[in-house]
Amino acid sequence: MRKSRFIGWTAVVSLTVLNILVFCGKPAMAADGKIVIGLVEVTSGPFKASGERFAIGAKYAIDELNAKGGLLGKQVELVVEDGAFKPDVVVRKTTKLVLEDKADLLMGTIGSHTAMAMMKVAEKHKKIHLIYNSTADSITGKEFSPYSFRTTISTAQRANAIMSYFAMYTKFKKFYILCTDVSAGHEVGEGYKKNLKKIPGGQIVGEDYHPMAMRDFAPYVSKVIASGAEVVLTGNYGPDLSNLIKAGAQLGWKAITGGGYLFDPYIMQDVKEAALGHMVVEHTLIDMSNPIQKKFVEDFKAKNKDLDPVVYSPVFGVNDIYWGAQWLFDAVRKAGSTDSEKVIKAWEGASYNMPWGKVTMRACDHQIITPARAAVMVRDNDFFPFPYTEKPVVIPEEAVTVSPADTGNPRCK
């Protein structure tokens, strides 16, 4: 895929979205009159739809920023590169963004394995790096980099929130862990087991880890059914989640899934009725009774009428990077510079008022400390003609937060 360069929204919008990522003319070259942000995302392959929406969200945030005068009095230029969901490609593309495109700040990418690859390049070149979606605990734990800041909840935080939800709002006791056989998947599983103590009488009746990009989940679903599980605890996303839920419905399981990614409208458009009753947890889960979030959704739709309203809906993905970017911009303003050491000093320990509540950037590990929201999939909702989230309930910050001593980060004692 070709490199993308734009100042604000200078691209031609099309339903393929790949056509959005087009050149704006001159070769890559830094200039005193602008700030360059380099974004690496997945814009090809099976996770293409997930990555593209983050690119769309970044463009929207920067377009809005430039319309208001830019950042530190300068216009902001976004350069997008396709990381292809591969660490070696991410390393190459991030290096290019720094050395050739002269990026001042970096953002990316989905997939914890690729985010960690990007972290290493950012640290090597001492560039501030925003992580808005990748959730492996090790990102802000044992793999910590002082230049990377995460504005999404970690796998351990999500596990805390999910198990708190089941303890607070349900009577389920039998849980089956089913996650991808990668580091993040195993971290999710460990988080669920650690938090089982929140549920009196709770038990793990099965545990499996499957390859990524699975097509046939029938063998796993059969094991879930045989176990008598009431809830399948998963960290799956994208096609791994939709294929799992559809297989479960086809084979007649009675269990529901508990996880963080079912609220992806792209998945829900495919899964439809099979998702009814399943639940999700996320800190940025949209609540249309919140005037700030309602305005964000309505404004985005009004300004992006040519985009597929489901695949590129602002209720998932777009909002994660949008609000993460707002916090990054705020840290740069407080630093008065894009100089990395100054931004680190300004962002560590800082708080920010998000639409869902006050959040804090924990100084020792650069991890967002935040409340979360949980919701069940219902037919009648505020967003789509297919099942989607009901009005969410709040999981308080203290039920989400992971002790800094448990992160594996040597800075956190």
Q: Check which CATH number belongs to the domain holding 84 and give it.
A: 3.40.50.2300
pLDDT category at 381 given cuts 50, 70, 90 is: very high
Which positions ≥6 away from 277 have C-beta within 8 Å? 256, 376, 377
The proportion of the chain whose per-residue pLDDT surpasses 90, expressed as a percent, equals 78
Query: Per the domain annotation, does 114 fall within a domain?
Result: yes
Distances (CA, A) of 16 to 8, 78, 263, 382: 19, 19, 22, 26
Identify whether residues 199 and 169 lie together within a single domain: yes
Strand order in the sheet with 128-131: 4-7, 75-82, 34-41, 105-107, 128-131, 148-150
Query: Per the domain annotation, does 199 fall within a domain?
Result: yes
Which of 31-35, 192-196, 309-313, 370-374 bottoms out in mean pLDDT, i.e. has the lowest?
A: 31-35
Pair type for strands 174-180 and 256-259: unpaired
Identify whether residues 365 and 399 lie together within a single domain: no
Beta strands in 113-229 (DSSP E): 128-131, 148-150, 174-180, 203-210
Query: Per the domain annotation, does 127 fall within a domain?
Result: yes
Number of structural domains the chain divides into: 2
pLDDT of residue 406: 86
Average pLDDT score over residue span 338-363: 98
Domain range enclosing 189:
156-282+371-406
pLDDT, greater one: 46 or 173? 173
Average pLDDT score over residue span 133-155: 94
Nearest 5°: phi and psi at 204? -90, 115
Tell me the pTM: 0.88
Query: Per the domain annotation, does 198 fall within a domain?
Result: yes
Identify whether residues 17 and 124 lie together within a single domain: yes
Query: Per the domain annotation, does 413 fall within a domain?
Result: no
Identify whether residues 84 and 10 lie together within a single domain: yes
pLDDT, greater one: 21 or 281? 281
Identify whether residues 136 and 209 lie together within a single domain: no
pLDDT of residue 260: 65
Query: Per the domain annotation, does 225 fall within a domain?
Result: yes
Average pLDDT score over residue span 137-161: 94
Identify whether residues 298 and 273 lie together within a single domain: no
Identify whether residues 396 and 297 lie together within a single domain: no
pLDDT of residue 259: 74
The pLDDT mean for the chain works out to 90
Buried b (16+ CB within 10 A) or exposed e, 173-192: ebbbbbbbebbbbbbbbbbb
Identify whether residues 20 and 87 lie together within a single domain: yes
pLDDT category at 369 given cuts 50, 70, 90 is: very high
Query: DSSP assignment, residue 308?
Result: -
pLDDT category at 32 given cuts 50, 70, 90 is: low
CA distance 192 to 189: 5
CA distance 332 to 310: 33
Identify whether residues 393 and 255 lie together within a single domain: yes
Which of 23-37, 48-62, 355-369 bottoms out in mean pLDDT, i.e. has the lowest?
A: 23-37
pLDDT surpassing 60 at residue 18: no
Identify whether residues 243 and 390 lie together within a single domain: yes
Query: Per the domain annotation, does 80 fall within a domain?
Result: yes
Q: For residue 19, count CB atoms less than 10 angstroms from its CB and return exposed for 0-12, middle for 13-18, buried for 19 or more.
A: exposed
For residue 109, cis peptide bond before it (omega within 30 degrees of 0): yes
Average pLDDT score over residue span 103-119: 95
pLDDT surpassing 90 at residue 315: yes
Query: Per the domain annotation, does 412 fall within a domain?
Result: no
Identify whether residues 21 and 60 lie together within a single domain: yes
Pair type for strands 372-378 and 393-395: antiparallel
H/E stretch holding 259: strand 256-259
Identify whether residues 32 and 136 lie together within a single domain: yes
The proportion of the chain whose per-residue pLDDT surpasses 70, expressed as a percent, equals 92
Say what the alpha-carbon torsion angle 92, 94, 100, 105 is, to the nearest 10 degrees. -170
Handedness of CA 101, 106, 111, 117 (dihedral sign): positive
